[in-house]
Structure 1
Amino acid sequence: MRKLLNILKYLLLSIVVILLIGYLIVYFSKRSDSKKNMELLGVEAPTLSQNGITFRDLNKNGKLDVYEDSSASTEDRVEDLTNQMNLEEKAGTLFINMIGSTSKGEPMETPILSTDPLVLVFSIVLPSNSEMIAKKKMNSFNILTSLDADLMAKYSNTIQKMAERTRLGIPITIATDPRHGTENNPGAALFTPAFSQWPSSLGLAATRDTLLVKEFGDIARQEYQAVGIRLALHPMADLATEPRWGRINGTFGEDAQLSAAMTKAYVLGFQGDTLGRNSVACMTKHFSGGGPQKNGEDPHFPYGKEQVYPGDNFDYHVIPFTEGAFVANTAQIMPYYGIPVGQTSEDVAFGFNKDIITGLLQDSLKFEGVVCTDWNIISDSKMGEGRAWGVEHLTPKERVKKVLDAGCDQFGGESIPELIIELVEEGQITEERLDISVKKVLRDKFTMGLFDDPYVDEQKASKFVGNENFREKGKEAQGKSTIVLKNETILPLKTGTKIYAEGMINPELLNKYGELVKNPEDADIIVTRIRTPYDERSEYFIERFFHQGRLYFTEEEQKKVLSLISKKPAVVIINLERPAILTEIDRSTKALLADFGTSDEVLTEVLFGKIIPEGKLPFELPSSNEAVKKQLEDLPYDSKDPLYPFGHGLSY
């Protein structure tokens, strides 16, 4: 036995040594590459004065160029800069990829040994900041890091300074997925404690309050801008007509008119009536509606590549764009991954589909802003295969050409400008075609004032972001979004009620008005928080972040809940990420509430009637798994005999 233990000890030690050597090889290789990249950068742009005009001499030529002149028209500045750009700079402008920082707000240049596996993975698989900025000439990035506000601001300033040292000093557009909820999904949303906390988009829709949604957008805009973020990779205008779909939590529900109203208010909050210096641009997604996924499977993965329309309801999914996003002048649009089966002249995914991008979006609907593909539709990476659904047979270079021919302007989640350079040099794509897209990207940068001053106040950010007023507004929205699905005269709870609680992070908050007890037998009522069920999958790295598949509780899961709530009168609160099947739980509880990111603090106020819940369901709740299977992916509210219909919601 001792001999076996010694063998295992040396085996483990050998594995650790091999891993450490591998890490050091990668570390020193990346550090060497970083040094070479930084040597490609020049000096910082001096601030000069000429003819009474003070300007940043971004190309360091000692004179005032039109693109450096804040008094010149946006179109003249765009034209002047485009004419000065070389092919490499134009190609780099057409890519936006994920970017990361260290925990201290410094550029992520080398692998980071971290207890957070995501930080470790991203620091290894993502290109370094300097590679993308200095070498590949890119100037748009999707920031992944969640830090304190001052550190996020510091990072923004640091990479803007790096961009200033490039040949033409083109500033960086920093983009982000949603950060104001309680969900942490690197493929869709990023939990950022420094910001005020709000309900999910479903929760915003549950309030039915467009003024509140616009106010949310305005507050989120201010917090983003304070740390240097100027592009929101949201909202999602997709419709939740297929209840099993794993991205429903980011939508405004299944009703097209409700989604249109929410989308319009959301974009107006972020951008204002027109895009300007105080705006955060919105990249509304996913045109022309990514909700009707076959069997609810998500097209991040090969098994979910098909979008289907058995109810012949394609046009319904466009309404949130035509009556919401476009009315609010959304700056940018993102198509989804899926193939709109049978809807166009060829069954290829939206980003490759000329009928969708050029024919519908640009020609018919007259959209003139940036069209950016969803992430990683071109090349395979360490994160998974390229999601080139319908064109898997094409090479990465052929895919790039097809995207540009379809009418898209930017490539999301990619850092391969060299392929565009090759296409131009081979005569397959003209530089004039690139100019069309480059000008769109630059136009937004100029309009938002990034060329004149891309820097933020780091000290102000730490005091301003997540301030008390913003947080109180978020709590107000959380309370208002909470839905009372059922109430058999048990709510609101009376002061002094003895409560046994499960599923709460901070159950002691119930002591503010009631008395928390340790055993169900000692309680007057039971309060339990549960989550929407889903299938746990792990074939692909990011599958673990997608709650998709089943909506029913397994026999074991359901037994656990029912055995608890059968002991005393009970209040069940479910976090509705998707339309869960709650039929058996509903029968056994005295009160049933739905929340969309309501904190324990706010929930306590709701339970005791200090905050009156006003939420209405943004989708119907099915009564059985059989009903879920029989509904059609593209039709709203078509589940047979739903437990609770769309729009249901009680109050006190």
Structure 2
Amino acid sequence: MNNSELKKLFNSMTLSEKVGQMGQVTPDFFSNEGEITGPVAEMKLNSGELYSIGSILGTHKPEQVIDIQKKYLENNRLGIPLMFMADVIHGYETIFPIPLALASTFDTNLVKKVAQLSSKEAVGNGIHVTFSPMADLVRDPRWGRVLESNGEDPHLSSKLTQAYVEGYQGKSLLHKNTLASCVKHFLGYGSSEAGRDYNTVSVSDLELYQNHLPAFKAAIEAQVKLVMTSFNTVKGIPSSANKWLLGNVLRKELGFDGIIISDWGAIQELINHRIAEDSKEATRLAVEAGVDIDMMTSSYIKHLGDFIEDGEINIETINQAVWRILTLKNELGLFEDPYRGLMKLENLDQNLDNIRKELEPITRSVASDSLVLLKNEGILPIKTKSTKVGLIGPKAQTKDLLGAWSWIGDKSEVISIYEGLQEQFERLTLSTIDDTDSISKQDLVIVALGENSDESGEAASRSSIQLQQEQVELLKKVYEINQNVVVLLINGRPIDLTNIVNYCKAILECWFPGTSGGAAIADVLCGRVNPSAKLPMSFPASVGQIPIYYNYLSTGRPKNESNKDEKYISKYLDIANDPLYPFGFGLSFSNFECGKVEFSSGSLSKDAPIKITVTIKNLSNISGKTVVQLYIEDKIAEVARPVRELKGFTKVSVEPLGCEEVVFEITDKDLMYIHSNLKESADKGSFNVYIGFDSLAPKVGEFVLV
């Protein structure tokens, strides 16, 4: 539909039809089966309201989409089609590793590919919009939703957020396998106090602009189509009613011109925040702040029309929101084909089967690339198929490897760790702790530990991030019998491993690895895949260190080697300041070394960047990949700055006993930061450069910005 035709349609809409476009409900509202309960009963939508609604969230099968769309169009006066949205977070039915695991790959191309493939399967099921990526910066692993994130670093998160958006949306939404992307949650949700979901956020403007905004800015520059508000307050005002946040920051400063959608029920929750007396007042606050779509409340549908008719809200506010919604529907090609190709397929089930067959082997390779080797005292890889391998632990046979936001994933299709190891090892024994004789006779024992899928994710905050005590005791008992122990971790957040690290010879962080998880884990254990992933979040040595992150600000009394025994410095009495495993850390079966480093110049300017070349050597006989990381320290700045910041990363493959050159280009933009006036610029002066394989990389030189 061309722009003039869309305008003509828009001009023919009544006020109630416009208001309807700003509402969103679940498929249950279109089902006449069974007892009407829950939100469906509470919202009390009449037929006219229901058949003017703008979008649906949470359908499953393509047949369901076709039925609802057909029924809707038969009852919608102007034939304006519905948009169907869903949480396609790390796959649809075929499940990839959780986003935190994907972030461990430090591989933007891989993340983009996962988004493309997830889109293909979701579109085959009738989905038009995904509520992904989650760009929240996270530094507190007690918050369950860290599993949806890209981790603790703004630079890494920005690059991966951009990759997700580009992967989902492609070059045009008219392409049959693309999804419109909704980036979330705007803003600051990752700093929820005490790591408790839906809780208060209290951060400075400087912190918001410097660390929380960059990933959202990257999404907007990638032309993301929707932004979702967060549940938390910013400057004391909930995001869904925050004029400054949505109007000034998002619309004006970041230049976002797409759709702003609330999170589930967030507008009605303004009453619980006690800034709105009732649903009507919540409606006024949200629409004046700039929220275009009200997710799963009847606030807009029931009250917006009254505000317009009474002259309390300008009709132009409604017009702008509805125009944005119609524009996205048009970009998706829904006016020409409300079913986006589904009706043209002869066999919907066969189409989906073909897509899943295409995705299955890729989920295995992606999962193996996301596993982080945290410890290895020469016990891995397991060199022969005839090695006697014992397997024990609560995660040994579980199919619970998908993680949160895999609500459509079929656990019966999951490859368990036991099934994956069976494929690789001829002498595999599944043991219990009572099989002491069997355990003692194994060449090594694999102990599979971790969380259940409902122990991380939304509404899954934890005050303790250690493994359950019975799991720790199991590991210790196994270690007493046979000290050749390999620990596998299934989890959705950084775990405090201080109570287990000394009771094993190797630790492999597997996250929630997805549908092919067990096979991917076996591929790494046997050496078919050489691990190359790195931690996107620091692993604390104690929950008392949280929030812990590598790019902390300089303090007036920093702890260092020369003063570590002094009293009046920034330190703990009972533990070290450092995490157990730092950001960017991850081992390989290869032995890499940073060799010669060369700077193209000792200074840079706005028009003349510098190039830093480092030679990466593989000192082993095993081919492998690693992530080379470049960090910069601004030596003198207007405001307190981090001790170092990631500014570049490259995954490089190096042959046995070979070497490869990696080139980083540094521009003045890499040196910009948010000043006290909330404006971004770079200060002239000196900068230290650190290059290595994690955030503790050594200094390799310095340069001057002139």
Please indicate the TM-score interval, normalised by the length of the shorter structure: 0.7 to 0.9
The counterpart of 2:166, out of the listed 263, 268, 287, is 268
Deviation at 1:390, TM superposition (A): 3.8
Once the two structures are superposed, what CA deviation does each residue of 1:427-468 show, in whole Å capped at 9, x if it has no partner?
Answer: 222322211100001100011100110221465442333432
Q: Which residue of 2 aligns with 1:80?
A: 8
Residue aligned with 2:221, SS: coil
**Change in CA separation of 1:253 and 1:283 when aligned onto 2, cut-off 3 Å:** same
Hey, what's the Cα distance between the residues in 1 that align with 2:376 and 2:97? 22
Corresponding residue SS for 2:182: strand
- Assess if the C-alpha contact under 8 Å between 1:201 and 1:251 holds in 2: yes
Aligned match for 1:403, one of 286, 289, 292: 286
Other-structure match for 1:429: 313
Is it true that 1:158 corresponds to 2:67 in the alignment? yes
The answer to which structure has the higher strand fraction is 2
Give, in whole Å, the separation in 2 of the partners of 1:223 and 1:527. Answer: 35
1:451 pairs with 335, 348, 352, which one?
335
Partners in 1 of 2:46 and 2:485 — Cα distance? Answer: 57
User: Which residue pairs with 1:640 in the alignment?
Assistant: 577
Secondary structure of the structure 2 residue equivalent to 1:141 = strand
CA distance in 2 between partners of 1:602 and 1:280 (Å): 28
Aligned to 2:194: 295
1:321 aligns with 2:215: yes
**Any conservation in 1 of the 2:22–2:321 contact (CA below 8 Å)?**
yes
Separation in structure 2 between the aligned mates of residue 141 and residue 579 of structure 1, nearest angstrom: 34
Q: Distance in 1 between matches of 2:19 and 2:257?
A: 20
Q: Find the residue that maps to 1:202 and give its secondary structure.
A: helix
- Residue pairs, 1:211-250, within 5 angstroms: 211-250=109-148
CA distance in 2, matches of 1:133, 1:603: 53
Q: Is the 8 A contact 1:133 1:162 kept in 2?
A: no
Aligned to 1:587: 502
Q: What secondary structure is seen at the aligned counterpart in 2 of 1:96? A: strand
1:157 Cα offset (Å)? 0.8
Which residue among 554, 560, 581 is the counterpart of 2:474?
560
Name 2:460's counterpart in structure 1: 546
Give the Cα separation in 2 of the matches to 1:211 and 1:436: 36
SS in 2 for 1:573: strand
Q: 2:451, 2:490 → 1: CA distance?
A: 6
What amino acid is aligned across from residue 18 of structure 2 in structure 1? K
Which residue is equivalent to 2:448? 529
CA distance in 1 between counterparts of 2:187 and 2:376 reads 39
What is the letter of the counterpart of residue 427 of structure 1? G
Q: Is the 8 A contact 1:485 1:594 kept in 2?
A: yes
1:205 maps to 2:103:
yes
Question: 1:174 maps to which residue?
Answer: 84
Per the alignment, residue 439 of structure 1 pairs with: 323
| Identical residues among aligned pairs (%) | 27
CA contact (8 A) 1:294 1:633 kept: no
| SS at 2:499 equivalent | helix
Residue 508 to residue 372, structure 1, CA distance change in 2 (3 Å): closer
Superposed displacement of residue 126, structure 1: 7.7
Q: Specify the code of the residue in structure 2 equivalent to 1:473.
A: I
Runs of 5+ consecutive residues of structure 1 not aligned to the other structure: 1-69, 102-106, 113-119, 146-151, 182-191, 380-385
Q: Give the structure 2 partner of residue 464 of structure 1.
A: 351
Q: What is aligned with 2:389?
A: 499
SS at match of 2:262: coil
* Contact map agreement 2:259 2:325 (CA 8 A) in 1: yes
- Report if the CA contact (8 A) 1:263-1:325 is conserved: yes
Structure 1 SS opposite 2:158: helix
Secondary structure of the residue aligned to 2:337 is coil
For residues 444 and 371 of structure 1, the distance between their equivalents in structure 2, rounded to whole angstroms, comes to 12
SS at 1:623 equivalent: coil
More helix per residue: 1
Figure out how many residues of one structure are paired with residues of the other and give that number: 527
**Normalized against structure 2, the TM-score is what?**
0.70
Q: Distance in 2 between matches of 1:576 and 1:444?
A: 37
**Greater Cα shift, 581-590 or 497-506:** 497-506
**Contact kept in structure 2, 1:292 and 1:633, CA below 8 Å:** no
CA contact (8 A) 2:159 2:215 kept: no
**From 428, 438, 452, the counterpart of 1:516:** 428
Other structure's SS at 1:584 match = coil
Determine the structure 1 residue equivalent to 2:491. 576
**Aligned partners of 1:534, 1:292: CA distance in 2, in Å?**
22
Which one of 519, 540, 550 corresponds to residue 622 of structure 1? 540
Distance 1:336 1:164 in 2: 32
Provide the rounded CA distance (Å) in 1 between the counterparts of 2:47 and 2:131: 20
Deviations 1:587-642 (A, max 9, x none): 2111101123221122112211112222110100000122126x599969999210
Q: Counterparts of 1:619 and 1:311 in 2: how far apart (Å)?
A: 23
Aligned partner of 2:644 in structure 1 is none
Alpha carbons of 1:159 and 1:311: their partners in 2 closer, same or farther (altered >3 Å)? closer
**Equivalent residue letter for 1:324:** A
Preserved contact between residue 142 and residue 463 of structure 2 (Cα < 8 Å): yes
Partner residue in 1 for 2:373: 484
Distance 1:330 1:617 in 2: 27
- Report the equivalent of 1:473: 362
Aligned CA-pair RMSD: 3.0
SS at match of 1:606: helix
Aligned mates of 1:296, 1:446 — CA distance in 2: 40
Partner residue, 2:19: 91
Partner SS, residue 291 of structure 1: helix
Shift in Å, 1:521: 3.2
Q: 1:637 and 1:510, CA in 2 relative to 1: closer, same or farther beyond 3 A?
A: farther
Do the aligned partners of residues 88 and 121 (structure 1) sit closer, same or farther apart at CA in structure 2, a change above 3 Å counting?
closer
Find the aligned partners of 1:94 and 1:634 in 2 and give their Cα distance: 41
CA deviations 1:98-138 (Å, max 9, x no partner) are 3349xxxxx532337xxxxxxx976976879x967863521
Residue 32 of structure 2 aligns to which amino acid in structure 1?
E
Seen in structure 2, the aligned counterparts of structure 1 residues 212 and 534 have a Cα distance that, compared at 3 Å, is closer
Alignment deviations for residues 58-103 of structure 1 (CA, whole Å, 9 cap, x no partner): xxxxxxxxxxxx3xx2x323321221111111111101223349xx
Q: What do residues 276-317 of structure 1 show as CA deviations (whole Å, max 9, x unaligned)? A: 444310110011232111111111xxxx1x112279522133
C-alpha distance in 2 between matches for 1:547 and 1:176: 23
Q: TM-score under structure 1 normalisation?
A: 0.75
